[in-house]
Every structure is written in C-alpha cells, then in structure tokens.
Structure 1
Amino acid sequence: MSKSTAWKFGIFVVAWLCWTSLSFGAQGAITDPVEVTALLAIKRSLIDPNKILGNWNRGDPCTSSWIGVVCLEDGYLHVQQLLLLKMGLSGSLSPELGKLLYLEIMDFMWNSISGSIPMEIGNITNLKLLLLNGNKLTGTLPEELGYLPNLERIHIHQNNISGPIPVSFVNLNKTKYFYMNNNSISGQIPPELSRLSSLVHFLLDNNNLSGYLPPQFSELPSLVILQLDNNDFGGTTIPASYSRMSKLRKLSLRNCNLQGKIPALSLIPNLGYLDLSLNLLNGTIDGQRLSEAITSIFTGTIPVSFSNLPRLQILSIANNSLNGSIPSTIWQDRALNGNGRLTVELQNNKLSNITGDTNLPPYDTVWLQGNPLCSNTNLVSFCGSESDAENKNQGPTNNTSDCQLQCPPPYEPSPRSPKAVH
C-alpha cells in the first residue's frame, strides 16, 4: 500500500470512528423508556384544556423540550424535575409517577387536580420537594410518603385531604417544612414527630385535629413556626414545656378549644408572633421579652405589664371578655414603641374606662369599638364613627410585616442539568 493510499485510509478510519462514536452517543442520549411510558400515562390522567402539554407526544421528553420536564444524564436521560404548576390542569395524579425514580422535584401546585395522592410516590426515594398544594386532592395521606429519605418539603396545603397523619412520617428525618394546613386532616398529632430534628415549619391550621398538643414538640431543636389554629384540642392545655422552644418565632393556636393557664411563653427568646385568641385560657403574659407582634386572649383585666413590651407593634385582644379599665401606659410609654408605630385592637370586649392620659400619640392606632366605654362621646379617637366600627368589628387584625414569621423560604427551581427544560 502506497503512502498516499495509507494516509487516505487512515483518514477514513478516523472519520468512521468519529461518526460511530457520535452515532452511538446520540442513540444513548435518550430518555429512559420506562420514564417515557410513565410520562405518557401521567399526561393521559390529566385534563389539559389549554393544551400546554401539547408537545408531550412529539420526540423524546428530554431532547425535545417537553414542557415542564427537567432532565439529568446518567447513561440514559432521566426526569429530575416535573414542574407543572399553575397550568390549569385537572384530572388526577397517575400511579405511574412512582416510576420516575430519579425525580427530585414534583410540582403540581395551584391546579385543579382531584383524586387521591398515589401511594406509588413513596417509591421515589430521590424526591426532595413534594409540592401539591392548591388543588382538589382527597383521600388520606399515604403511609408510603413517610419512607422518602430525602424529602425536604411536603406542601399539600389547601386541598381536601382527610384522615390521620401517618406515624410513618416520623422517618422523614430531612424534612424541614410541613405545610398541611387547610385540609380535613383529623386525629392526634403523633408525638413521635418530635424526633424530626430538621423540622423548621409545622403548619396544620384549619384541619380537624383533636387530642392534645404534644409536649414533646419542645424537643424540636430547629422549630421556628408552629401554627395549629382552628382545630379542636378538647379543652386541653398548652404544655408548659413549650416555654423551652428556643428557636420559636411564631406560635399560633387561635380557636383551638384550649383551656387552663398560659405557660411562661415570655421565656422564648425570639418569639415575635403569639396568637392564643378564641380559647379559654387564663393568666397573664410577662411581655418584656416578646417582640414585634402579639395577638392573644385573656379573661379579666388587661395586665399593666403590656406597657413593658419594647418591640410591640400589634396588640390584638379583640372579641374577648376583658373588663375593667385600660391603662393608657400601653400606648403612652414611648419606650414601648421603638419601631415607630403601634396598633392596639381591643374592640368587642367589656371595657368601661381608660386610666391615664387619653391623648393618643400621632402614629398610634387604638380601636375600642364595641366596649361600654364608647358611650362616652369624648373618646371618638378611640371608638371612631359608626362606619369605622362596622369595618373594625369584623375581628382582630392577624398581620405582621415580618414575612419570615408567616411565609416559607422561597422555592425556586434551580435546574442543574444542561438538558433542563421549563
């Protein structure tokens, strides 16, 4: 073979090897067929009136940019994120979701999906975020969800989920955020959940919970928000151990049929939002260490200690059975109002008098409509006009300017794969 021929043959071999490599590489860069079949089953179970998932029947899910599909490459391409939030979808969740074994984020938030949560989701051991809130889901919480070892968030709030909290949830050691409020979840809160050392937010307000508040929750080392309003704990008490929740910033137990003495909650160093209203509690709160916003309830008279709250911005004790006099030192003591403004809501009680100076500081607001003292026409600045009364008598303000006390940290998908498709 001449040198010229050998050189040409060598070029041909190199070219063929390059083409073969690219060809086999292209063939390898396809989505796992099991996952493709699962995605098609998921689509069939959904109703998509806006045809947003119209490209789910063309090409490969990962290489053809299927809407809402984010992939990673591991030999095959695998579905890592399924982002179908706010797409106007209805229908149901397919059990085939459980075949997306590489899935880390499942996001169906704010659609109109009905039916139950498939127990097969418990097969997705890589799952970190389960985001199903704002749908019409029914049925019970599958026990299998408690065996997701990497789950960090479970957002199922604002659905119609019923039944108890599975005891298997005690295994969710990495879960930080439980958002299960606004459902019909019933039964006792499992005390065993106190073993979840990563738990930061625990929201189960507006459900049908019963039983008692687990004293063991004081052992949760990272808990920042405990929100259980509008459940029925059957006349039980607030555990005294809750005063040891060192990280707690928001405790909301409004309308929970709680009775007995209020524990020493002022020992919680960072507590900034407290709502114990519409219960049958008694006692006082030493408020020197409470910060930013307090909503609570008392029978009897208003404690003078409220004038010692240096960071108070909102004091709401409306719609209760307070009687006697109101000490004006609550709003006159300027050390109280270090943040510049104060709102005091005491409407719809049985208060008969204001002791001390009745000149209201210019940046403060005090509402006293619906109390006997408002028969005194000299207290217009406190009792307002009839139209003001109609607006304010609807109930106390439940608000705080510090969203950290109410809102979860923002969730923003961060695709780590160059195959990411939104």
Structure 2
Amino acid sequence: MGVLERSQPTLSLIECLCWCLVLIGGAHSQLTHPTEVNALRNIKGSLTDPYRNLRNWNRGDPCTSEWTGVFCYYITPSDGYLHLRELSLLNMNISGSLSPQLGQLSHLEILDFMWNNVTGSIPKEIGRITTLKLLLLNGNQLTGSLPDEIGFLPNLDRIQIDQNKISGSIPTSFANLSNIKHFHMNNNSLSGQIPPQLSRLPKLVHLLLHNNNLSGYLPPELSEMPSLQILYIFTLVIP
C-alpha cells in the first residue's frame, strides 16, 4: 500500500466568509449607491425616450458604465459608494414626467432636463436635494405650481423654469434661497403678486418674470437689492 499524500490545507467556512466580505467591501467602492441606482430606474420608467438615448441605462453600473447623462463623483465619501453629481438629459426629445424619485439623488449638484417635452408637475421631492446648485427645466411642457420645498435648498444658484406652462404664485419660501443668482421664470402662467420678500436675496443678479399673468404692484424693495442687474417683468397687470 502506498503512502497517502498529505492534502493541501483548505480554508475553513469562516475564513471563506471573511474573504467574501473583504471582496464585497472593496468592490462596492466602485459601485453607485443602490438607492441612486433604483432612483434612476424609476426616473427612466417615468420618461418616454423615442430615440432610445437612454438605452444604456440597463447596462452595468450607472457611474462606472457611463450611463448617458449621468456624471458622478469619483472620490467616494465615507460610505464607500459612488454618487451622482449631475443628471443632464438636455435636448433629447424626451417626454413623460419627472419622477418623485429624483429626490433620492441626494448628492446631486446639477439637474438638467432643458429643451425636451416633459409634462406634469415639478416634484416637491426635489426639495430634498440639499446639494443642488442648478435646477434647469426650461423649454418643456411642465404644468402645476412651483413647490414651496424648492425654497429651502441652501446651495441653489440658478432656477431655470422658463418656457413652460407653470401656474400659481411665486412661493414666498423662495426668499430663503440666500445663494441664488438667477431666477428665470418667464414665459409661463404664473399669477398673483411678486413677493416683496424676494428683496432679501443678497446675491440675485437676474430676475426674469416677463410673459406671465402676474398682478399687483412692483415691490419697491426690489430696487434695494445689492446685486440685482436685470429685472424683466413688463406684463404686470394692475387690478
């Protein structure tokens, strides 16, 4: 009878599990946060994309597979995941509506749906994206009113909602936007009084409100705004 050869040592079950955890922990640093991946899928589900510009949104990971219009931070924060910095779907002939799941893109700085055919209202959930700097929705078919929640975005620099069909009044909460420089809200159906509270905005440069249904007087306080350069209204209706 021959001598039995000693078998090579094998990893225990616990050691295997530990290695798997290490590998998973290292791998997820190169993946988009699952909440944001799920949000993107819901966002796409609310849109109609006749030219299939978003066809690669079913392939791989949003950040590492370079999904169309998706731009990410490639330095991972403490949670170890990649996060969206910009969602830019400019001029893609997209229709449908804006999903409330946009509010789950919690690290977003730029949201750009300019020059499409998107309908429906602006989701109030956008007001959860406290990192947002640019909200660019002009040149669509959006309706409904402006959400009060947008007025509590501390880093917002620019709102472009011009050339839509948005109605209702300008929220007084917009007076909280201490970093805003540009309000482009012309060519809509906004009504009511221009809030005098907007005069509290220290950095506002452009206030474009023409071609709406605004009424009442022009608040004299606006003349005291330190940074205002362009105030364009000209269709104010005095009741």
TM-score by length of 1: 0.50
Distance across 2 between alignment mates of 1:23 and 1:96? 27
Distance across 1 between alignment mates of 2:199 and 2:187? 22
Deviation of residue 219 (structure 1)? 1.4
Query: Which structure would you say has the larger Rg?
Result: 1
1:123-142 equivalent positions in 2, closer than 5 A: 123-142=128-147
Distance across 2 between alignment mates of 1:173 and 1:198? 7
Q: Which has the higher relative contact order, 1 or 2, with Cα contacts under 8 A spaced 6 or more apart? A: 2
Letter in 2 for 1:68: G
Deviations 1:9-55 (A, max 9, x none): xxxxxxxxxxx978743332110000000000000000000000000
CA RMSD of aligned residues (A): 1.5
Check if 1:190 corresponds to 2:195.
yes
Distance across 2 between alignment mates of 1:170 and 1:180? 15
1:305-320 equivalent positions in 2, closer than 5 A: none
Match of 2:90 among 68, 85, 88: 85
Deviation of residue 65 (structure 1)? 0.8
Identity of aligned residues (%): 64
Question: Is the CA contact (8 Å cut-off) linking 2:217 and 2:236 kept in structure 1?
Answer: no
Letter in 2 for 1:120: E
| Structure-2 residue corresponding to 1:119 | 124
Deviation of residue 97 (structure 1)? 0.2
| Structure-2 residue corresponding to 1:50 | 51
| Structure-1 residue corresponding to 2:161 | 156
Letter in 1 for 2:153: L
Check if 1:63 corresponds to 2:58.
no
1:12-411 equivalent positions in 2, closer than 5 A: 24-72=25-73, 73-74=76-77, 75-234=80-239
Question: Is the CA contact (8 Å cut-off) linking 1:130 and 1:154 kept in structure 2?
Answer: yes
Deviation of residue 206 (structure 1)? 0.2
- SS of the aligned residue for 1:115 comes to coil
Question: Is the CA contact (8 Å cut-off) linking 1:213 and 1:233 kept in structure 2?
Answer: no
Deviations 1:342-365 (A, max 9, x none): xxxxxxxxxxxxxxxxxxxxxxxx
Deviation of residue 119 (structure 1)? 0.3
Distance across 1 between alignment mates of 2:70 and 2:233? 35
| Stretches of structure 1 lacking an aligned partner (at least 5 in a row) | 1-19, 235-422
- SS of the aligned residue for 1:87 comes to coil
Q: How many residues align?
A: 216
Question: Is the CA contact (8 Å cut-off) linking 1:155 and 1:179 kept in structure 2?
Answer: yes
Q: Structure 1 residue runs of 4+, over 4 Å off?
A: 20-24
Distance across 2 between alignment mates of 1:54 and 1:38? 16
Deviations 1:111-169 (A, max 9, x none): 00000000000000000000000000000000001000100000000000000000101
- SS of the aligned residue for 2:82 comes to strand
Distance across 2 between alignment mates of 1:27 and 1:103? 20
Letter in 1 for 2:129: I
Letter in 2 for 1:35: E
Distance across 1 between alignment mates of 2:143 and 2:24? 48
Deviation of residue 172 (structure 1)? 0.5
Distance across 1 between alignment mates of 2:25 and 2:221? 58
Letter in 1 for 2:127: G
Question: Is the CA contact (8 Å cut-off) linking 1:106 and 1:129 kept in structure 2?
Answer: yes
Deviation of residue 205 (structure 1)? 0.1
Question: Is the CA contact (8 Å cut-off) linking 2:158 and 2:182 kept in structure 1?
Answer: yes
